[in-house]
Structure 1
């Protein structure tokens, strides 16, 4: 199997509330965690689609690399509840 990338599908940023003096939120929360193969001919760039078929263009690649974590799951443990069930099923095969 080629290199696997953990991809974060992010929520939209929260609107800034200027009347309350609260600074705008810079970080976009993770909505779902997907897996993607490397792009053809590359080991450093995720491919265009996740294993469940979603477009990776608007997703963010995680710094977590399953190949560097022997014996652990393919996804970042912090986001275990947000793992895409379809990507997870493909990874278990």
Structure 2
């Protein structure tokens, strides 16, 4: 299997202009956590669709990568309660 990316589906409400220097994940709440394969021919860019079929264009890739944490689950433990059930099913197969 290719590199797996953890993708955050973020709240799309417009945020107030921020000068905090924080990342989009810190500025907008995570609504759902998805998994995506790497883009064809790349190991550093997520593909265009999550494993459940959602478009990754409007999502943020997590800095946490499953390949860097052998023996751990594919998703970031902090957001375990927000994992997409369809992506989890595909990852378990």
Asked if TM exceeds 0.5, the reply is yes
* Aligned-partner Cα distance in 2 for 1:14–1:85: 27
Encode CA deviations 1:49-87: one digit per residue, 9 max, x unaligned.
000000000000000100000000000000000000000
Q: Does 1:91 align with 2:91?
A: yes
Match of 1:74 in 2: 74
Q: Does 1:65 align with 2:62?
A: no
Which 5+ residue runs of structure 1 have no aligned equivalent? 17-25
Output the TM-score relative to the length of structure 2: 0.86
Match of 1:33, SS state, is strand
- After the TM superposition, which parts of structure 1 deviate over 6 Å for at least 4 consecutive aligned residues? none
Output the TM-score relative to the length of structure 1: 0.86
Asked if the contact 1:13/1:27 (under 8 Å) is kept, the reply is no
Number of residue pairs matched by the alignment: 84
Larger Rg: 1
